[in-house]
Amino acid sequence: MTAERGPVRVLFMGTPDIAAECLRQLIACPDADVVGAVTQPDRQKGRGMKFLPPPVKVLAEENGIPVFQPATLKDGAFEDELRGTDPEMIIVAAYGRILPSYVLDYPPLGCVNAHASLLPKYRGAAPINRAVMAGERATGVTAMFMDEGLDTGDVIFSAETSVGENETAGDVHDRLAVMAGEAMCRVVKTAREGTLPRTPQPAEGATYAAKITKEDQKIDFSLPAKAVHDLIRGLSPYPGAFTALPGGKLLKITGSRVADGVSAAPGTVTSLSDGITVACGSGSVILTEVTPEGRGKMDAMSFVRGRGVAAGDVLGG
């Protein structure tokens, strides 16, 4: 009779909120023994530019897990810490750095990544934003073995979720964060019980989810209303889509819905009765939540009552 093996020694690597939720579930998972958390260095944020720790660091320290914040992993810089923690598996979720071969090759059970898309679609830095911006009606989480390519490793399994036509990237992010944690707990349990399956990704259907740029955030009202709406919700709540008011000030928009079309030039404000209705290339969008330049987020009608915009104004010009 073979003795049951103990919990898998896991070194976790991740940085933002979605990674922290994944770590939270791994800490509670009886099949995992989290021996360390690797995350990005503290960054200066906010108006005061104070150094703030990443969410993964905060959670790890609350649970007594050793935290490592290497400035680089290159040229064996993390080798001593790797040998000191001696993980059987490395689990990565939105860490933010490419792992060199000495890290990828170290754990006998492999380096496993929780990627927030249904691979091979949306490889890269911004899979949730890009999927919603593209109007996808489904996305998910893929558990995959890491290799030296960009999200090109063999798939262990994937889990799918539908995307509502009015859901924001923030809504989808929160759901995928939970799914990612569940997926990694399943990975560890499966590895503890036997061998993890692996299926090479097909070459067909691969797409790249590039990091969001300022140009991506600019609204083009000459597009159909649905495309404008998808852009807005795909960038909500962060980093936010934006347009320009007639005076040149920027208006960030984080809430919208599609409306029936009216005969007006794209970008024209046609109604202020139920939000800010703006004509598009076809159809219209109603802007429901905005952030004026230099001010806080507010519902669109508050902005209207403050005379921030008027019927007949042309946005984005």
Report d(CA 96, CA 169) in Å as an integer: 19
Mean pLDDT, residues 48-60 taken together: 91
- Give the DSSP H/E element, type plus range, for residue 178: helix 169-193
Mean pLDDT, residues 148-171 taken together: 97
State the pTM of this model. Answer: 0.94
In terms of phi and psi (left: phi > 0; alpha: psi -120 to 50; beta: otherwise), the region of 58 is alpha
Among the residues of 29-110, which ranges form H helices? 55-62, 79-85, 101-104
| The CATH number fitting domain 8-193, selected from 3.10.20.30, 3.30.420.40, 3.40.190.10, 3.40.50.170 | 3.40.50.170
Q: Which CATH architecture has domain 214-305?
A: Roll (3.10)
Report d(CA 261, CA 66) in Å as an integer: 57
**316 pLDDT higher than 70:** yes
| 57 closest CA partner among 44, 42, 72 | 42
Beta pairing partners, 112: 91, 145
Name the residue ranges covered by the structural domains of the chain: 8-193, 214-305
Mean pLDDT, residues 5-29 taken together: 96
Sort 50 into a burial class: Cβ within 10 Å, 0-12 / 13-18 / 19+: exposed
- pLDDT one-digit tens code per residue, 258-289: 998 778 999 999 999 999 999 999 999 999 99
**304 pLDDT higher than 80:** yes
138 contacts 160 by C-beta, under 8 angstroms: yes
Cis status, amide bond into 41, omega within 30 of 0: no
**1 pLDDT higher than 80:** no
